[in-house]
Amino acid sequence: MEFSDTPFKEPKLSKRDYFFSQPHQPFFVLGIINAVISMLLFIPLYKGIGSVDPLFFHAYSMIFAVFTNFFYGFLYTTFPRFSGTYPIDPRKYLIVFTFNVAATLALYGSILIEPAIYLSILFNAASFGMTLKIFYEIYKECTLPKKDQYWLIVALGAGAIANVIFLLAAIPCKCNNQIFLDTAVNFGVYLYLIFLGFVVAFRMVPFFSHIMNYKKNEYLHLQIFVLFLLHSFLGGTFAKLQFVPDLIAAALIGWEIKKISFKPTKEPLLWILHLAMYWLFAALFIGAFINFFENWFGFYSFQLPLHLLVLGFLTTILIGFGTRVTLGHSQNPLITDKVTVYIFFFTQIVLLFRILFSVSAHFGKITPFFDISATLWIVLFIWWSFKYFKILAFGEKIG
C-alpha cells in the first residue's frame, strides 16, 4: 500500500453548486434582479401606462421582492451564528428561495393578469411561514443570549402581517382600500424593514467597529417597536400626531449612537455602516418635522420621510453589509478599492435626487427628477453587480 504526501483537497464545486451552497448568494442575486426590474416596471406604471395601481406595486415589490430577499440572505447566514447553532440545511432555505422566485414571477405577472397578485401574496406568506418556523426552532435550541433573535423573529412576524394587510388592500370592495394600503405600507416599512434593520445594525455595527464597552439600553428594542407601532396606527386614526413617535424614536436612537461613540475612520466598509446609523437618527428626526408640516399645514412631500429611512438608512447599510458579506464569505480580504468607495458615495447621490424629486413634485414638476431618481436607483444595483456579481455568485477571488 502506498501513501501520498500530497495534501487532500476537497473537490472544487461547480458554479451551480457553489451558487446555492451559501444562503446569501441566491437571495442576494434575486434581490438585485428585483431591485432593477421592479423599478423598470414602476416607471411606466407611475406615468399611467397600465391598469395596475403603481403605488401598490412599488410598495409591495420593494418590501417583499427586493428587501426581503436581502434580509433572508443575511439572516439565513447569521441567525444560526447569533444563536451558536449549526448552519441551516440548504434544502430548507432553497425551498424558501423557490417560494420567493414564484412570488416574484406572480408579482410581475400581475401587471398583465391582475389576480396573479394573490398568488404572489400567497407564495410570500408561505415563505414567511417557513422562515419563522425555521428561526423559531433555532431560537428554542439557542443557549446563548437571545434577545436580538427574539426581536428579529418579531420583525419577521410584522412582515408576515403586512403581507396579509396588502392582501386586504388588493381585494376589490366597497370599503376604503386606501386605509388598508397605508397600514400595510407602515407595517411593512416601519415595523418590518426599518425595525429589522435597526436590530441588526445595533448588534453588528458596534461589533464590526470593535466597540466592546457599549451597553445598549435594555428596553431599546421594545421602545422602538412600540413607537413604530404607534406611528403605524396613528396614520389611519389621528395622523396629526404621527410625528410624535418618530421624534421620540429619533431621540432614543440618537442617544444610543452617542453612547456608542463611533470613532472617525477612513475604512470604507466601516464608515458606510456608521453613515447608515447616523441616517437612521436623521431620517426619523427630519421625517418627524416633515410629517408635522404635512398633516398640520397641508405640505405634501411624496412620502419623503419614508424614503429618507429606506434610502438613507436601509439602502446605505444594505450596500455596506452586502459588500462585506460578499467579500468575507468568498474568502476574499475585506479590502475595498476606489470603485467601491465611489459606489458607497453613489448611494447618497441616489438619496439626494429622491429628495430633489419630492421638492420639485411639491411644486408640480414630476419630471425630470422622478426619472433621474428612479434611473439612479437602477444604476446603483447594476454598478454594484458589475463589480461584485462574480464574487457573490461564484466566489471569484480578487486579484
Q: Render pLDDT for 352-388 as a digit per residue (tens, 0 to 9).
A: 999 999 999 988 899 899 999 999 999 999 999 999 9
Domain residue spans of the chain: 15-394
Which fold is adopted by the domain 15-394? Cytochrome C Oxidase; Chain A (1.20.210)
In this structure, are residues 112 and 50 in contact, taking their beta carbons and an 8 Å threshold? no
Q: In angstroms, rounded to a whole number, what is the distance separating the alpha carbons of residues 216 and 205? A: 13
- Model pLDDT, residue 213: 87
- Model pLDDT, residue 178: 86
Cell of 314: 436601509
Identity of the amino acid at 358: S
- Model pLDDT, residue 212: 85
Tracing cell 453613489 back to the chain, one arrives at 346
Query: 312-315, long-range: CB within 8 Å, 24+ apart, which pairs?
Result: 312/276, 312/279, 312/280, 312/282, 312/283, 312/351, 313/194, 313/197, 313/276, 313/277, 313/279, 313/280, 313/283, 314/67, 314/193, 314/194, 314/197, 314/276, 315/347, 315/350, 315/351, 315/380
3-state secondary structure 140-209: HHCCCCCHHHHHHHHHHHHHHHHHHHHHHHHCCCCCCHHHHHHHHHHHHHHHHHHHHHHHHHHHHHHHHC
What is this structure's pTM? 0.95
- Model pLDDT, residue 15: 86
- Model pLDDT, residue 11: 58
In this structure, are residues 82 and 149 in contact, taking their beta carbons and an 8 Å threshold? yes
Residue ranges of the chain with per-residue pLDDT less than 50: 1-10
